[in-house]
Amino acid sequence: MMIRRMPWWLAGILMALLVLFTFSTFGANRPFGASTYVPYFAGILFDLSPEKYPYLKEVHFAGAWEGVMLLGALTGGFLTSVFVTKSFRLSIMPTGWKKYKNSSVISRLVWSFVSGFFLIIGARLAGGCTSGHFLSGMAQTAVSSMIFGGVVLLSVIITGKIFYKSEANDV
Amino acid sequence: MMFDRILNMFTTVSNESHGSLFVVFAIGLVFGVIIQYSRVDKFEKIAGFAMLRDTVVPKMLFLAIGLAAVGLYFMVEAGYASYHPKPIILGGLIIGGTIFGVSMAILGKCPGTGPVSIAEGRIDVLVGAIGGIFGGLVFTVYFDFFKKIMGESLGKTTLITYFQGHENLVVLIFGIVLIAVSIVIPLRQEFDEVDLKQLEEI
């Protein structure tokens, strides 16, 4: 029988190895990151000229690198969800949202759009996200990443307390 | 035009010496497999952590960081890697980190786990990603404004530079503390319907 879930410790060990491989001279010789591809793709989709928008010049290489990496992540996620975890299916409403927020699809989609928008603004302001700051940054003992880590941890938990109900709805 | 720019993405990566196209794609592939297989791309895992109902994400993250910190230090010493820390930009880190945390708790994803979630058919996350593209657009267009919020760089300091002469001891303690934290955090799990069904089969 196939085991359908990887334990957290195995995932942690494998993730550490992946980060180390990405850093290594025989791997990619750079940190692992995952939010720079978003403005890069926005530049492509809206056909913005890097000559006019200096930020696109700044992210020219990192954005492309993470763009290719992202295609790999989509492929890996798709194959695993279809063949290993068997969790692939089209869905709009997370179980947890129904349980701790509400059962309105419109509410979930509006909040998804708005939080997706600000997620990227926040990540770009800070110069990194969970991958770039938490994983890669803290592994380098970077002070910037520890500040980011502390602020994010606090803001995640406060939001969780305010935004969601403490008691579950019956699903 | 768009097609040219997508092709340009591939040539940009092949022309730089940060891994061949295949290596970069493979790094993403392995990332996607780890994230999907450990189920941390689930809303219940990240939003669940925000509600303190699920601790798989912090347990996994702290363990990964602790191990990577020790491994990376010795790889740098051996000449197989180098550090690339990000600059301390206080405005950007504090304001950006706050906005990022609020959004992550509501979306239940971060920029790395989101795409993996879309790959398993989550339409709400796709809508979030479209929001993200607009966020990226606004940031790019109004970069001058955002730059003012971010503030000046106070340098790319790392913890070990404060402990000249004791670097390997400090990094070892740092790593062990993080690994210990990952073990000490009590394991709490929140499942979604699909996962519960799969659990019954095991």
Q: What pLDDT, on a 0 to 100 scale, did the predictor assign at position B1?
A: 78
Q: What pLDDT, on a 0 to 100 scale, did the predictor assign at position A166?
A: 87
Nearest of A6, A87, A9 to residue B58 by alpha carbon: A9
Contact A9, B187 (CB under 8 A): no
Test B27 with A32 for CB contact under 8 angstroms: yes
A67-95 per-position pLDDT tens digit: 999 999 999 999 999 999 889 999 999 99
Query: Would you write out chain B's pLDDT as a tens digit for each of its 202 residues?
Result: 788 999 999 999 999 989 999 999 999 999 999 999 999 999 999 999 999 999 999 999 999 999 999 999 999 999 999 999 999 999 999 999 999 999 999 999 999 999 999 999 999 999 999 999 999 999 999 999 999 999 988 999 999 999 988 999 999 999 999 999 999 999 999 988 877 776 665 4
Using the Cβ of B173 and the Cβ atoms of chain A, whether some distance falls under 8 Å is answered with no
Cβ neighbors of B145 (< 8 A, separation 6 or more) are none
Q: Above 0.90 for ipTM, yes or no?
A: yes
Q: Is A170 left (phi over 0), alpha (psi -120 to 50) or beta?
A: beta
- DSSP H stretches of helix in A84-142: 95-100, 105-126, 138-139
Q: Which pLDDT band, with edges at 50, 70 and 90, does A157 fall under?
A: very high
Evaluate if residue A6 carries a pLDDT over 50. Answer: yes
**Which residues between 21 and 80 in chain B have a beta carbon less than 8 angstroms from any beta carbon of chain A?**
21, 23-44, 47-52, 56, 59-69, 71-72, 75, 79-80
Contact B103, A115 (CB under 8 A): yes
The percentage of residues in chain A with a pLDDT greater than 70, rounded to a whole number, is 97
Per the listing, tokens 């795409």 go with B115
| A151 to chain B: closest CA residue | B97
Evaluate if residue A1 carries a pLDDT over 50. Answer: no
Using the Cβ of B4 and the Cβ atoms of chain A, whether some distance falls under 8 Å is answered with no
